[in-house]
A and B are shown apart, each in its own frame.
Chain A
């Protein structure tokens, strides 16, 4: 597509093989970006996603690499830079969901949740940041959740991890703003697909009672906002958390 929001840009999306990540890849590609994403387990879905992107004329790459594997992440980033060029856009989307009350939460549950969301975002951001500082430009977007900014009925480790991403966003935005790199955060409400499918029915109904639009969001609705947030059109927003929840 010519004249898109992200024409000529290179975007890296973590956890891009399925769910919200895949939708983000699809919309960023439609807006003209070359797309790279990583995945851990879902190889078949990753292959499908790459094929879909390439069939639409997008340069696309998929990497089997955990966001917690620093050397694999560094290798992925270097490969993308060599193959596609400097990375302009990073979307830290990779995450996991788990519904368990605190009383039953094991230490390993906590670590997995915090590591995947927070440490993963840190490692990937650190790796990508080198190139962005050299470029003196860049867009970093962290995918948080309404559960990270409002009091919701949600697992506490998930809430804590998503809230940490808001802190990461604000601290990093302050630290690297001098290089023309913006860092923002998006906090979606409950969506029809993606990790939201794990939300218990009672919680979903409670959410709908408080949502002004009286419906769940869609993956594409979030991805459309993401595309604008990481585009050059969004030049002055920095350190912000944008809530997209239908009005809760």
Chain B
């Protein structure tokens, strides 16, 4: 495996044969979880980490199925936003000081509060590490919400997760506590089993005003069995039926897994576009970490990554969505999330924003939010877009129709009356939908620079706010399955101090 040179953004289009060193970064050994400096190499149009561990030897992992996408994504990187307060001071470095420390490069866009570690499924692809021991107390939950508001001021969304959050005996009370004015929407991330079976509960969720993020990884028994451990077709149908009937605002979460459900990606997109109450779709290429995922028989050299899922979206939607409709999310690390917004046209069809918005110029519109909030920043950006479309309407696909839809969007989102903080978040719903792709990391593709920019955080009762992938892999163990020890560098000495970090230099 010889190297034939290094490359940069400018010349990636010219890459052909051979192997090219793109950059170096910090990852971990998939065997012993030691921090390693690794080569990021491009070979045959794909991107790999090449690792050399003094204990475990050489290894490689696929990081991106499309080198052009990977390299171009870096051009979308932009500086993060600091939280109002940090929970930790940097002392030993990343990821030991997680909490987040003042060296973290992004505030919390999406707090994910794990309200229970009980679950009614044991998924072969589960990325957390349920202990079946605790439901979070109302007091701790209160404290977490207070802490989030203190650190962030306002939050567009707060997600309640687990375990299975609907197994928490006081889930409705938790939703009520989270429903304070500083928080735009409360989202319950659920497998949907209880929603489909317990009508009174579904009605209570509707009444609570919460949104539901429904785990929906496919439409066939075999897909569910491979990913969730058993046939859930009837359960998912029941949940979808309840959500539709009650018009509960819904997000779909689809863990895209090689050899399991990758052929059903287009059908998930169809469902998003067909149902008014479904606001967004979140594809998560499978990460091989956690209670189930750490043992999942996935091949780190042949797995789905963000551009691979986008490719399947294009193939399976008959071109209604194209690869060029998706852009890296600038506020997180650009390799973590990709997204597209879809605008509802006057004829009720949907058109990707990318068909009429140049996101390289209007990056403000690329946000870590399922819908567009009615704030001053979006107002300004929309005006820019409107003028741009107005001037170029003869060149743009369905130009006059786009202008008509933008007019409707603008008038709905910015009515001639003051909006509450909650209304600002919610008022654009129905006019635009979104598709997100979020690739959580595992021991194979872990990249420390991605972790430092992470904006999906697990707030803890002790006041820490843990970036998702670092927490899943290192701080609660299970990087290689349920029996994985907590990584040495993530442990804290009895006196509260962390251990010094030591990154093994690559050879």
> Which residue numbers of A lie inside 8 Å of B, CB to CB?
129-131, 133-134, 175-176, 178-179
Contacts and interface: CB of A to CB of B under 8 A. Distances in A.
Nearest to A134: B391
Judged by DSSP, the binding face of B is helix
Q: Among the interface residues B384, B391, B392, which one has the most CB atoms of the partner chain A within 10 A?
A: B391
A134 B390 CA distance: 9
Contact of B388 (A129, A133, A175): A133
A79 B3 CA distance: 59
Nearest to B394: A130
B392 A134 contact: yes
A65 B392 CA distance: 24
A176 B383 CA distance: 10
16 contacts: A129-B390, A129-B391, A130-B390, A130-B391, A130-B393, A131-B391, A133-B387, A133-B388, A133-B390, A133-B391, A134-B391, A134-B392, A175-B383, A176-B387, A178-B384, A179-B387
Contacts of A133: 387-388, 390-391
Nearest to B387: A133
A175 B383 CA distance: 9
Interface of B: 383-384, 387-388, 390-393
Judged by DSSP, the binding face of A is helix
Contacts of A176: 387
Given A130-B393, A134-B392, A179-B387, 13 more contacts: A129-B390, A129-B391, A130-B390, A130-B391, A131-B391, A133-B387, A133-B388, A133-B390, A133-B391, A134-B391, A175-B383, A176-B387, A178-B384
Nearest to B395: A134
Contacts of B388: 133
Contacts of A175: 383
A176 B392 CA distance: 16
B189 to A, nearest CB: 41
Contacts of A179: 387
B347 to A, nearest CB: 23
B390 to A, nearest CB: 6
Contacts of B392: 134
B402 to A, nearest CB: 14
A141 to B, nearest CB: 20
Nearest to A176: B387
Contacts of A131: 391
A178 B388 CA distance: 12
Contacts of B393: 130
A135 to B, nearest CB: 9
A100 to B, nearest CB: 35
Nearest to B392: A134
A176 B391 CA distance: 12
B374 to A, nearest CB: 19
Contacts of A129: 390-391
A212 to B, nearest CB: 43
Nearest to A131: B391
Contacts of A178: 384
B23 to A, nearest CB: 36
Contacts of B384: 178
A130 B388 CA distance: 9
Nearest to A133: B391
A176 B390 CA distance: 12
A220 to B, nearest CB: 35
Contacts of B387: 133, 176, 179
A133 B393 CA distance: 12
A130 B390 CA distance: 6
A131 B393 CA distance: 11
B383 to A, nearest CB: 8
A130 B392 CA distance: 7
Nearest to B380: A178
Nearest to A78: B394
Nearest to B391: A133
A133 B389 CA distance: 10
Contacts of B391: 129-131, 133-134
A175 B393 CA distance: 19
A13 to B, nearest CB: 22
A178 B384 CA distance: 9
B394 to A, nearest CB: 9
A58 to B, nearest CB: 28
Q: Among the interface residues A130, A131, A175, which one has the most CB atoms of the partner chain B within 10 A?
A: A130
A153 B387 CA distance: 40
Nearest to A130: B391
A179 B392 CA distance: 14
Nearest to A135: B391
A85 to B, nearest CB: 16
Nearest to B390: A130
A88 to B, nearest CB: 15
Contacts of A134: 391-392
A24 to B, nearest CB: 26
A150 B393 CA distance: 41
A133 B384 CA distance: 11
A177 B384 CA distance: 12
Contacts of A130: 390-391, 393
B388 to A, nearest CB: 7
A140 B478 CA distance: 66
B498 to A, nearest CB: 49
A131 B392 CA distance: 9
Nearest to B388: A133
A131 B394 CA distance: 11
B201 to A, nearest CB: 50
A241 B347 CA distance: 43
A121 to B, nearest CB: 18
Nearest to A178: B384
Nearest to A126: B390
A186 to B, nearest CB: 25
A71 B383 CA distance: 25
A134 B387 CA distance: 9
A134 B396 CA distance: 14
A74 to B, nearest CB: 11
A178 B383 CA distance: 11
A176 B387 CA distance: 9
A123 B390 CA distance: 14
